[in-house]
Structure formats: structure tokens, C-alpha cells
Amino acid sequence: MGFDLVPRPRSLVEGPGEVAWRLARVVVEPAWRDVVDLFVTDHVGLWPGGVDVAAAGSGDLVVARADDLDPEEYRLAVGEVVTVAAGGPAGAAHALTVLGQLADGAARVDGGLALARVRIEDGPTWPWRGVHLDVARHFFPVADVLRLIDLIAAHRLNHLHLHLNDDQGWRVEVPRWPRLTEVGAWRRSTPVGPELDGVDDLITYGGFYTVADLAAIRDHAARRFVTVVPEIDLPGHAQAVLAAYPELGSGEGAEVWTRWGISSRVLDVSDAALSFAEEVTTYVASLFPGSPVHVGGDECPTTQWSASARALALMAEHGFTEPRQLQGLFSTRVAAALRARGHEVLAWDEVLDAEVPPDAVVVAWRAVAQGAEAARRGFDVVMAPMQFLYFDWLNSAEPGEPVAQSSAPLATTWEKVYGYRVLPDDLEPEHRHHVRGAQAQLWTEYIATRDHLDYMAFPRLCAFSEVAWGTATTPEEFRPRLAAHLERLGAAGVKYRPLDAL
């Protein structure tokens, strides 16, 4: 019997024959009750008679703690009774996700589900298995974000990085700065098709998350062992901020940007601008207690600083030789404020070009080499190289693909994603412990709807999940499992990109 499990478990041993498994009663320790309740709810159609969940006694499914396992590790055995042993609730959730894949589509026999006898021992190689969603270029409502979290968890990924601001929109309310959402969350027009064509829709576009919205996202993710990582990207990517509060920049009027790419407008290096960056970032961080927080730090133009007497004076005061070093004033101040409040700090790999905040985790997007450099310099790294893990790039170089951030022949097929390996080949053994894992990016200049997000994410996110779990084999071995898994996703309403014919 085949097992179309994605991501592939570390170890799977099939036993003799099948069982007709009925789930009427689950035994689980009280502290893990929510994990089981969520599993039962997510697969409610499989249990027509209802399910009783108890803390003791006998059951058709027994979920227990195993002290010899790490928190995300588990053992799953399918027999007349299905047993799960896990190192922590996250491991139990992973096991039940796999059990759900085994149960979905199983034939019904004798009032139960025909399941193969199997023993699985499993756990992730990489602790950081992330997905990034840009909600600044195109805004995705809460329901779409919750659905993405469900799909992330179904692939045993465990971080959702939300890019909450950019030149084209500010997406989170901050009570002390109301114009961020009154003005900064709305642009008057959006490019249609390839930006170089110069066609605009001339339709006001925008949206933002309330505090209650972000609490709903945070709590929904936490139940599924997905950590939300908010990002406020300053001092660059700031034109939406400057449309709302021009005094934080050069003082010249601005509108929320209606182009893609990177605006040359940046925050000034004034005390007021530095205080603003610290205040809004720590406020957003407070909505995600204990979560890592991303401070951006990428693609910050220096044209305005080069022409600013204040900026040039600050450069002289600090002994800087290049305007780009001024970016470090923001990164280090905001990072210190976040660390004082108990948050780990992440930043894009451009911080390597200026002053890296102490203990920052570098998200290496420009190339694998930046990740290796960061590790050699003693920084922990999340690998996110655009050549493999930017899912705003074309799915293929063939004609007929929707407009994307890349142009043919640049494309990222699922096979290319599947061939990626998290550890840089040339990274010396003594530095490899700095690599925490990997993250796939969904930038949304050209992704405006949920269905298009599905098309750009899947099947590439399926391939990535197995790479990040650490059990990838070859595209030839993976493809049949992927095809079956896509049918599973399609039945759940996911509008994935079909596989090309062989």
C-alpha cells in the first residue's frame, strides 16, 4: 500500500494487513485536550457518531507524552487502537496531522476506515520552517490569513511572517498614530499587469487589521503551533508612513505609493523619526507577546540622506563613511527596545552591510552566500534565498503563466524548490549550528486574490515543506506522492497550479 504523506516522515514501517479503525473515544492527558479537539473538529466528517474525549481509560486513539522525545517529535502506531507518543503538544499535533492524511480518502469498511498497519517515527530536522506573506502590496482579509495558517500547519510548517507595511500601504492600526490607517492604509491606484506597461486601475485600494483582527490571527495560529512573526520594515519602505506623517521624513508631501519597487522616500534620521520607529514597532510587537519580531532593514535608499545636512552631521558624529550606515541607528535602537521586552529580533540580510543588532537572526534572501556569511560571523540564520524560495517568481518559464515578479527565463519550478537544501554546501561544520531552518516568501505585487495566492504557493509550498522538514528525496520519488497530495488539497478547495505532464 502506498503512503501519500507530505512531508515524508523520517521513518515509516508498514505492518501486515489493514485494520477497520473506528474513532469513538480518545484518551489524552488534559493539558493536550485542545490538540485532540482540533483534530476531531478538522475531520468531523469522518466520525459520524461523534467522539468522546477523556483523560483516562481505554480508547480507539490514545495520545500520551513520551519523555524521550523532543517537543516536535512523535511516534504513531496504527492498529486496532491508534497510539501517539509525543514529546510535546506540537509533536502530538504533527502526529494527528499525519493520521488525518492517512484517514482522508480511506475506504469505509465495517463502519470504520480501512487503514494500513503502520509505525511512524518522526520529527523535523529544522526548528524554523516558515512562510512569509506580504499583506502590504495586496491586503488579505483575516479569513484568508486564517486559511493560510491552516494550510501551513497541515504541512507541518511552524512560522508565519507577516509583512505589515511598505511604501504601498500600512496594514495595522496604532491608536497613537491614527493617520497610519486613515491615510497610510489606502492608495489611490494600483498597477494592472506588468508595471512597466504603465497601466493603472485608478481605483482606491487598501485595508488594515484591527487589534482584534491580529489577536484572532495570533490565537488561531497558536492553536496550530504556528508562531506569527510580525514585521515593521523601517526606515526604508516608508512612503505610506510619510503620506500620513510627512514631518517624519523630508517634510515634503507624499501619497501612498502607487508603483511597485522601492520608493526613494525614507524616514529622516531625526530624534522624532527614530522614536516613531521604536514606538510603532514595539507596539505591534506587544500584540504578539513572546514572538520573534522582524525589523526589516532591507533595500533602504540613501538618496535623501545624502542630501540632508542632519544626516551628514550624524555621519560625522558617529564616524560613518557611507550614508547606508545610518540605517544601523534604526536597527540597533529598535532591536534593543524589542529585546528589552522579551522579543527575539530578525532582520533581512542587508543588515550585514551596516551594523547588525546583537543577537539578531539574519534572514538571508539575496543569495545562499549571505546566509553562509552571517553564520560565519556568528549570527543565527533563516535561509530564504530568492533563487529557490521566492514564490512570487514564475512557476515555470513556459508561455501562459500569470504575470509574476520574475520574467522568463527566470522561474522557480516545484522541482527546483525540492532540490534546494537548507545547509549551504560550503558552510564549515563549526558554523552549521547557526542555521535554524528556512522560509518561503510570498510577495504580493502580482498576487491580489486568494485563488492566485493558492496558485503561486502550491505545489511549491508542498515541496518546500519536505525540504524544511528535512526528508526530501528526489523529484522522481516525490512526484507521485505530490500528485496524490494535490488531489487532497483540491478536495479542500485549494486552487493549486496543476503539475505539468511528463
- Residues 380-405 have pLDDT tens digits of 999 999 999 999 999 999 999 999 99
Q: Which of 283, 161, 165 is nearest to 221 (CA)?
A: 161
Catalytic residue (choose from 94, 132, 163, 237): 237
Alpha helices, H only, 87-141: 89-103
CA gap 502, 498 in Å, rounded: 12
In order, the DSSP letters of 436-481 are EEEEEEE--TT--SHHHHHHHHTTHHHHHHHHHHT----HHHHHHH
Alpha helices in 51-116 (DSSP H): 89-103
Residues 6+ apart with CB under 8 A from 52: 24, 25, 26
pTM over 0.85: yes
Residue 299 annotated in active site: yes
Report yes or no: 86 and 66 within 8 Å, Cβ to Cβ: yes
d(CA 502, CA 483): 12
- Whose grid coordinates read 521586552? 341
Residue-wise pLDDT for 52-105, tens only, equals: 999 999 999 999 999 999 999 999 999 999 999 999 999 999 999 999 999 988
Which is nearest to 359 in space by CA: 372, 344, 373, 374? 344
Would the CA dihedral through 477, 147, 219, 130 be positive or negative? positive
Helix %, strand %, coil % for the chain, to 5?
35, 20, 45
Whether 322 sits among the annotated catalytic residues: the reply is no
β-partners of residue 131 are 160, 440
Q: Which helix (H) or strand (E) covers residue 456, if one does? A: helix 450-457
Q: Residue 443: is its pLDDT beyond 50?
A: yes
Q: Among residues 9, 265, 231, which one has the least CA distance to residue 122?
A: 9
What is the pLDDT at residue 2?
Answer: 56
Q: Residues 88-99: pLDDT tens digits?
A: 999 999 999 999
329-382 confidence digits (pLDDT tens): 999 999 999 999 999 999 999 988 877 888 999 999 999 999 999 999 999 999
Residue 446 has pLDDT above 50, yes or no: yes
DSSP bridge pairs for 161: 132, 229
For residue 208, which of 160, 254, 165, 147 has the smallest C-alpha distance?
A: 165
Q: Which of 182, 219, 247, 299 is catalytic?
A: 299
- Spatial distance between the Cα atoms of 223 and 33, rounded to a whole number of angstroms: 11
Q: What pLDDT, on the 0 to 100 scale, is given for residue 1?
A: 39
**How does pLDDT run across 111-145, given as a tens digit for each residue?**
889 999 999 999 999 999 999 999 999 999 999 99
Residue 260 and residue 446: Cα distance in Å, rounded? 9
Q: Using N-to-C axis directions, what is the helix angle for 460-469 and 450-457, rounded to 10°?
A: 50
Residue whose grid cell is 466520525: 47
* pLDDT at 425 exceeding the cut of 90: yes
Helices (H) and strands (E) counted in the chain, each on its own, are 16, 20
> CB–CB of 9/471 below 8 Å?
yes
Q: What is the mean pLDDT of the chain?
A: 96
State the DSSP code for 290. Answer: T
Are 412 and 463 within 8 A, CB to CB? no
161 labelled catalytic: no
**What single letter denotes the amino acid at residue 498?**
P
Q: Which residue has the cell 497610519?
A: 180
Structural domains in the chain, CATH included, are 11-122 (3.30.379.10), 128-491 (3.20.20.80)
Q: Pairing relation of β-strands 25-28 and 52-54?
A: parallel
4, 60, 72, 166: the active-site residue? 166
Q: Which three cell numbers stand for residue 430?
A: 563549526
Q: Phi then psi for 34, rounded to 5 degrees?
A: -65, -35
What length is written for the chain? 502
Give residue-wise pLDDT tens across range 231-266: 999 999 999 999 999 999 987 889 999 999 999 999
* Parallel, antiparallel or unpaired: strands 205-206 and 186-187: antiparallel
The reported pLDDT for the residue numbered 139 is 98
What is the percent of the chain with per-residue pLDDT over 90, rounded to a whole number?
92
**pLDDT (average), residues 271-282:** 98
CA distance 161 to 173: 18
Alpha helices in 245-352 (DSSP H): 271-286, 303-306, 309-318, 327-340
Which residues, in sequence order, are bridge partners of residue 229? 161
